[in-house]
Structure 1
Amino acid sequence: MSQSTSRTESHAFAGVLLDFDGTIIDSTEAIVENWKRVAAELGVDYREILRASHGRRSIDVLRELDPTKANWDYVSAMEAKIPQLSSKPAIEIAGARRLLEKLTRHSIPHAIVTSGSKALLDGWLTILQLPRAMTATTAEDVSAGKPDPEGYRMAKERLLQHRADEGEVLVMEDAPAGVLAGKAAGCKVLAVTTTHTVEQLKEAGADWVVLDHRFVGFETSTSPGDVCLTFHDLL
């Protein structure tokens, strides 16, 4: 199902995979505070960590900083503190709560695929009281983080396991690494311009780019089991 005008398109999908930080919430301030704490503990400049950490799993960053800290016990304990110790709570990306509520209300197959740990995801969902997706793929579930497609590929297989046909799956992302991962997993990608420019997202291969989730609408699908999404004011 596809129709388009100059700035609006509608497409049917069998499921939706959502990145979390940068796509559903913005926890930039909390992440900076966290890496400042870790940098002080390790005796390194936190600015060096920030330059290399965006969108990456903490365990991969720590492998480069101090391999003795690159284990899930340390990472989970560290990331569990991020929502608790943050002086500024994470900010919801505009339209994200409505999007999650509609996906849940209409029983649309959807999952979170994040570079954060389960402890970090659970912490933010609890504090912000956001709807929980049907399933989640977190940093512990994969052997390699984005732009490797493992996380999205794994989540896609879970969503489609009960379908006779594969159907098309939509990834929602904010970062080029995530766009690359989604495309490599065989998904279509809608990117929001919350952390990167339109040009950067399109260069990574995003199929569509919108400002934020306020420009994503739900329509009645003609295909059983699918959801029809309309993207308004495409950039």
Structure 2
Amino acid sequence: MEYTTPPFEVSFKGLLFDMDGTIIDSTAAVVKHWHTVGNEIGVDPEVILQTSHGRRSIDMLKVLSPEKANWEYVRHMEALLPKLHGADATEIPGARALLDALISAGARWTIVTSGTEPLVGGWLDVMRLPRPRHLVTAESVADGKPDPACYILGREKLGLSAGDGPEILVLEDSPAGIRAGKAAGCKVLGLATSHTAEQVLAAEPDWVVRDLRSVRMVGAEGGGGGDGGVTLQISDALAAAAPTAAATTE
């Protein structure tokens, strides 16, 4: 598989970003975290890590350790992760530049994540990344990804309707998150940062890129008032997803 498509442009009314694997890469920190938690609850950490990415901790614990599946415990243990392992996280290439451009343009964007508010806030503080006006976190919905509720709520927080779905872009790295975005009626850009290109493609996103260096804002409407759309240029996308891209850029 080759990331060889020429640049093309697509316009959106709003962008919904996943967090881990899309804005930051906290894999090394999460591995340490789940080893600690796994040993604490008596579950093999490797079993947890095989299926944890893109899923809420509380959903994992409901299966692996039901007595720990409560928000007080989950929020406490996730709040510790950036504090103890902050040095192990890195930015996804291109993420900060894209967020800065969206903020400068007054574009509609937010973060929709399977992490709790203490986890997300901790990472944004440690990484000194911008915080959106509204957040959708693990506590915000009854069911986590791949259920579309989180992205439907994210769309609503941007002041957009169900009819705007095709003009909303979800940026995701996990198959569960990609399926959630598609089920919410949005366009989805899959990042091959935490899974193989084959795994990302199997979730059927509209486009696949290596990371956010392939995404650049090239235009904005609305004069920075927060209610206009933006035009993105996507380059070096996976050739296997190119027909979908071509069909949406007329």
TM-score, normalization: structure 1? 0.92
State the AA in 1 paired with 2:168: V
Match in the other structure for 2:181: 182
Which is worse superposed, 178-187 or 214-223? 214-223
2:9 maps to a residue whose letter is S
Matched, 1:125 2:128: no
Opposite residue 22 of structure 1, the aligned amino acid is G
Q: Against the structure 1 CA distance between its residues 212 and 165, is the aligned structure 2 distance closer, same or farther, given a 3 Å change threshold?
A: closer
Contact 1:29–1:88 at 8 Å: present in 2 too?
no
1:7-44 residue CA offsets vs partner (Å, 9 max, x unmatched): 22211100000000010001111111111111121222
Greater shift, 220-229 or 49-58, is seen at 220-229
Q: Does 1:169 align with 2:168?
A: yes
1:229 maps to 2:232:
yes
Contact persistence 1:152–1:181 (CA under 8 A): yes
Q: How large is the Cα RMSD of the aligned pairs?
A: 2.1
1:193-221 CA distance string (max 9 Å, x none): 11122222222111111111111111225
The one-character-per-residue Cα deviations of 1:44-82 (angstroms, maximum 9, x if unpaired) are: 211111112121100011111221211111000000000
Letter in 2 for 1:230: Q
User: In the comparison of the two structures, how many residue pairs are matched?
Assistant: 231
Identity of aligned residues (%): 50
> How far does residue 166 in structure 1 lie from its aligned partner after superposition?
6.8
* 2:74 alignment partner AA: V
Report if aligned partners of 1:114, 1:139 keep a CA contact under 8 Å in 2: yes
Cα distance change on mapping 1:167 and 1:147 into 2, 3 Å? closer
Which structure exhibits the higher relative contact order, with contacts defined as CA atoms closer than 8 Å and separated by 6 or more residues? 2
Q: Relative to 1, partners in 2 of residues 1:101 and 1:38: Cα closer, same or farther, differing over 3 Å?
A: same
Residue in 2 that maps onto 1:84: 83
Q: Distance in 1 between matches of 2:198 and 2:165?
A: 31
Q: Which residue of 2 aligns with 1:32?
A: 31
Quick check: 1:156 aligned with 2:155?
yes
Query: Comparing 50-59 with 75-84, which one deviates more in the overlay?
Result: 50-59
Higher mean alpha-carbon deviation, 203-212 vs 122-131, is at 203-212
- Is 182-191 or 43-52 further displaced after alignment? 43-52
Structure 1 residues 79 and 233, CA, compared in 2 at 3 Å: closer, same or farther? Answer: same
* Structure 1 unaligned spans of 5+: none
Give runs of aligned pairs for residues 1-235 of structure 1, distance below 5 A.
Answer: 6-86=5-85, 88-161=87-160, 168-221=167-220, 225-235=228-238
| Runs of 4+ residues deviating >4 angstroms | 164-167, 221-224
Q: Which runs of 5+ in 2 are unaligned?
A: 239-250
Q: Report the alpha carbon displacement of residue 190 of structure 1 after superposing the two structures with TM.
A: 0.8
Amino acid at match of 1:73: E
Say if 1:100 and 1:133, in contact at 8 Å, map to a contact too.
no
1:87, distance to aligned residue in structure 2 (A): 6.8
Which residue type is aligned with residue 96 of structure 1? A
What per-residue deviation string (whole Å, max 9, x for no partner) do you get for residues 170-189 of structure 1? 00011111111000001001
- For the 8 Å contact 2:79–2:122, the answer to whether it is kept is yes
TM-score, normalised by the number of residues in structure 2: 0.86
Is the CA contact 2:12–2:167 (under 8 Å) kept in the aligned structure 1? yes
| Structure-2 separation of matches of 1:166 and 1:63 | 31
Q: Distance in 2 between matches of 1:51 and 1:222?
A: 43
For the structure 1 residues 98 and 42, does the alpha-carbon distance in structure 2 shift closer, same or farther, using more than 3 Å as the test?
Answer: same
